[in-house]
Chains A and B, each alone.
Chain A
């Protein structure tokens, strides 16, 4: 089984040199720690920054320089700054190569729910709906089941939808799944995880065919 760092490391293997990448809050943020040596990946923060760097050294933090999670950050060489309309312009126009998001539910058609839980205080969708409606390559990083053991890989979302037919790949602690017309196609299983366990914990259509390799991180 993978832990959250393992999930982030596996996602990092999807990065390519020159990619512009938007990382959501939570496990996705960790992906930045595993960008392969020698590869140049430019991180987009939707509040108006390309070329986001690591958190600042204690004492160097600047209230005018934050990421979309409102954390203090830094800028790398070659960074650029812009307003929110330009930021979502580049997102809608498909300029961002890869978007990594967390989710509460994903369906076997690539629908995603990740912004609202009925009965809980609604905080808002932020930029999530804009990102999922337009990004050409969306990977969801999440736990396979909810805290009460229910599958989060479903046929239909039970929670309010964030976007339809948009998720291309899901990486959980159990494995790596491509979402195709046939459903969740299992590509890799995590170390120590059996196909039976994945079957038992996946409610949406699951396709197990061909060579299923072990996740290497």
Chain B
């Protein structure tokens, strides 16, 4: 088994311009920082990015937006990003907004062999436009389809050489379903250990879903909304 790669640059080396990527994270929490930096350095463009958010101006996917590498964002919430807004208003960037639960389920479905599913979110709203509506037990639902993405790029706290992943706290968010959904799934982890060191009971994502794994470096883990109480 050879899943361990040398680093972010090697992990993303074959991602071409025009690819559809899933990027894990919620806000700036649990984002694949190393791979994003590598994608920026590689300079590929025309990308379709599926990610709950679009980062902030100078961090996360915002870094890719600054370099105009993204053609389309598929997200549930894209605030907190001036460059995103500028590109959207000027028509340089396309955006598809999806209810957050639908976004998660479209990832989960993709990684579960389920082509489509019905969900009530968005019924009676503009999200309904162009979608099949079906009634079950007196309630209306929309038909939503599994995502089709070339690569999923996720961040975990810990991983092993078999690709088993463990997440920490709310940095889990979209990472597990995206890991399941990628045709090629790349996982960056803070701690990479030999197979056997993570107890099987503790595995959140089984290694079968992960194709490439590496231990990242220099995690910044920026906090978007630092909110604290005084110490006394």
Decide if B170 touches A88 in the complex (CB within 8 Å).
no
Contacts of B99 in A (CB 8 A): 125-130, 133
Further contacts, 19 of them, CB under 8 A, given A66-B223, A83-B174, A85-B105: A45-B170, A48-B173, A55-B228, A55-B229, A56-B228, A58-B230, A81-B167, A81-B169, A83-B167, A83-B177, A88-B100, A123-B78, A124-B97, A125-B77, A125-B97, A133-B122, A133-B123, A161-B124, A162-B125
* Residues in B whose Cβ lies below 8 Å from that of A48: 26, 170, 172-173
Interface size on A, residues (CB 8 A): 52
Contact with B along A160-179 (1 / 0, CB 8 A): 11111000000000000000
Query: Which residues of chain A have C-beta atoms less than 8 A from B157's C-beta?
Result: 64
B94 to chain A, nearest CB (A): 13
A-B contact list, 12 entries, CB within 8 Å: A46-B101, A47-B26, A47-B27, A48-B172, A57-B231, A60-B228, A63-B29, A66-B29, A66-B223, A87-B104, A127-B99, A160-B126
Docked-complex contact B120 and A126, CB < 8 angstroms:
no
For the complex of A and B, list the 4 residue pairs with the smallest distance between their C-beta atoms, beginning with the closest.
Answer: A88-B101, A130-B101, A123-B79, A124-B77
Residue A134 at the chain B interface, CB threshold 8 Å: yes
* Residues of chain B contacted by A47 (CB below 8 angstroms): 26-27, 29, 170, 173
Across the interface, do A129 and B125 meet the contact criterion of CB distance under 8 Å? yes
Partner of A64, one of B77, B169, B204: B169
Is B168 an interface residue when CB atoms closer than 8 A count as contact? Answer: yes
Inter-subunit contact B104/A83 (CB<8 Å): yes
Contacts of A162 in B (CB 8 A): 125
Give B121-144 interface residues, CB cut-off 8 Å to A: 121-127
Asked whether, in the complex, the Cβ of B226 is within 8 Å of the Cβ of A125, the reply is no
Q: Is A17 an interface residue (CB 8 A)?
A: no
Determine whether the beta carbon of A130 is less than 8 Å from that of B102: yes
Task: List residues of chain B with CB within 8 A of the CB of A203.
Answer: none
Per-residue interface assignment for chain A, residues 101 to 140, with 1 indicating a CB less than 8 Å from any chain B CB and 0 otherwise: 0000000000100000000011111111110011000000
Bound form: Cα–Cα A67–B223 in Å: 12
- A84, CB-defined interface residue at 8 Å: yes
Cα distance A129–B98 in the bound complex, in angstroms: 9
Whether the Cβ atoms of B223 and A46 lie closer than 8 Å is: no
The 8 A CB mask of B196-222 against A (1 = contact, 0 = none) is 000000001000000000000000011
Please report the C-alpha to C-alpha distance between residue A128 and residue B125 in the assembled complex, in whole angstroms: 12
**B80-108 interface bits toward A, Cβ cutoff 8 Å, 1 = contact, 0 = none:** 00000100110000010101111111011
Bound state CA distance, A161 and B127, in angstroms? 10
B170 adjacent to A49 (CB under 8 Å): yes
| Interchain CB contact (< 8 A) of B223 among A63, A82, A134 | A63
Partner of B177, one of A71, A84, A121: A84
Residue of B nearest to A161 (CB): B125
Task: Give the docked Cα–Cα distance between A124 and B53 (Å).
Answer: 9
Q: Is A26 an interface residue (CB 8 A)?
A: no
Most buried by B among A59, A85, A163, A164: A85
Residues in A whose Cβ lies below 8 Å from that of B104: 83-85, 87-88
